[in-house]
Amino acid sequence: ISKVNATGTPTAIITGEKLPTWLASNGANLFWYDRTTKAIRKAPAAGGVASDVYVNTMTAGTAGPAPAVGGFVVTPDGATIYISLGNNVYSLPVATPAATPTLIATEDHGQPGALALNGTKNIVYPVASTVDVDAPLLAANPLPAKCGLEDATGDVIEVAYLDTTLWE
């Protein structure tokens, strides 16, 4: 990972990374996804030692290799990271990478992709294989927010999903 200085010459900030993608900055830190290790990593933007924020060890269903992360976003204060994985979106405190991720939202038809925040109210994302852009509430009660799932009678349910102030 490099920066370009005023003369246009790249200067290395972090070296030795494998396939870094989805670079994001937040305050004094850079975050990226490493497709090889399926880890979200961070390092000081001024340069320094990189560390894992999240390493995907969850399996796809009951067996199989860990799926690739579909996207991530870090809160403006740098305290929380949201991660899309399979049909779900999870949150995790950045300062405690070994913590168990909290399930925030789950989709029935497709995988959440590029994540964005609508202030502190919603996490917003396109859903792969549909034409939907969903916006579950971050403070849903109960969690997780659910979209397109069916209840016991087969009726489609949406729980704690759209905040209508998005569309006013």
Prediction pTM value: 0.81
| % residues pLDDT > 70 (the chain) | 77
As a whole number of angstroms, the distance between CA 92 and CA 97 comes to 7
Sorting pLDDT into bands at 50, 70 and 90, what band is 166?
very low
Q: Average pLDDT of 55-84?
A: 80
SS3 content of the chain, % helix, strand, coil (to 5): 0, 45, 50
- 58 closest CA partner among 17, 122, 103: 103
Note the pLDDT tens digit of each residue in 106-159. Answer: 887 788 888 999 888 888 888 887 777 888 888 767 777 777 666 667 665 555
Radius of gyration of the chain (CA): 17
Contact in structure between 31 and 74 (CB atoms under 8 Å): yes
